[in-house]
Amino acid sequence: MKYKNNLHARKGFTLLELIVAIAIGLIIAAAAMQLFIGGFLTSRMQEANAELQNSGIFGLDYMTRDIRLANFGNTRPDLNDQTPLGGIILTARDAVDTNTNITFPSSAPFISKGLLSHSKGNQEDVSGVKNEWQGLSNVNQTSDQLTIQFVAPNEMVNCEGNNVQEGDYVIQRYFLRQDPADASSGNNFALACDANTPTASGVTPVANPSTISGFGDAGQVIMPRVDHFVVQLGVRDSNNRLAYYSINQYRAEASKARAKTPAVVPPRIVAVKIAVLVRSMDDTKNQNIDLSKTISVLNQDITLKDTSTLYARRVYSTTVALRNGLGVPK
């Protein structure tokens, strides 16, 4: 019996075809990886922007609601650094000076200077006492501090979450501190609010107390991850011209006005402008972020201290008209 040899030659890919196939596969894989990385970075940026909006927009809105109450309950609508119980607190009574915004207590211990409104300059040195104004900032400028006072127009909750009766005295201070409050180092700062202890429920509220209790602690966080906090005072002079000063600039202008012969009434404080530089929680890894770029915050040109971590950052600002300080003095 004869068998027919039916073997067929089998042909595979040539070396050139294999190289081309591998190259095409690598290109497709690289494109897919690029899409994945791009989507990941986009997701990180979107998440960071959402954090910034939650912190900046809602935090400022919360602050402005209370700042609008500044000077409520005071019979003097003309606000300056000597207005008794004036809504913007620049001065406090001590053993020598009695023409001040805080008119009590009448004897020591007095309210610490580190708890008043401040900005750096004009011989205003930061406090060395924990939780007082220390100018903490993650930029090349010190942060400011704003302190306000008013009488509660109705039952409300102060910035520390405590219930306040209608007609009770309220003092609140906005400043940057370490987050958490017990941290002794690091650059994780938060905008916090410190308030006095309200009159206990069932006890008649006091609009003009003789002392302040519970004021000067770490307060409660309003905005986390704040790198810088700036305050400007909107003032109107006798010619009805409006200008904005930093807190220390206004102090200097008020002193200059009183030093004239004859003495001139200092410009009236009619508005407060505030701005915050907030950052994201995590490093976005986005190489498009330029950390060396100058950032403008209320006419301050600032630069970041941290030039390695690619946090997303944004400036939020608002202006609050002091409705209780716009009237004509009697």
The pTM assigned to this predicted structure is 0.86
CB 112 within 8 A of CB 216: yes
Cα 155 vs. chain centroid, distance in angstroms? 26
Q: What confidence tens digit (pLDDT) does each residue in 176-205 have?
A: 999 988 887 889 999 999 999 999 999 999
Q: Find the distance separating the first CA and the last CA of the chain, reported in whole Å.
A: 133
How far from the centroid of its chain's Cα atoms is residue 48's Cα?
Answer: 18
- Give, for 15, the enclosing helix (H) or strand (E): helix 15-67
pLDDT band for 210, please (50, 70, 90 cuts).
Answer: very high
Domain ranges of the chain: 39-325
Residue 2 has pLDDT above 60, yes or no: no
* Distance separating alpha carbons of residues 35 and 284, to the nearest angstrom: 17
Tell whether the model's pLDDT for residue 295 goes beyond 60.
Answer: yes
Confidence at residue 21, expressed as pLDDT on a 0 to 100 scale: 81
**pLDDT value, residue 20:** 82
d(CA 273, CA 249): 14
pLDDT for 93-117, tens place per residue? 999 999 999 999 989 999 999 999 9
Residue 3 scores a pLDDT above 80: no
Task: Give me the residue label for tokens 């309200």.
Answer: 198
What is the reported pLDDT for 136?
Answer: 95
Looking at the predicted structure, is the pLDDT value of residue 13 above 80? no
Task: Residue 250: name the closest of 88, 68, 114, 67 by CA.
Answer: 88
Give the pLDDT confidence score for residue 69 in this predicted structure: 97
Residues 138/227, Cβ–Cβ less than 8 Å: yes
Q: 3: which 2 tokens?
A: 């068998």
Rg (CA), the chain: 30
pLDDT computed for residue 46 by the predictor: 66
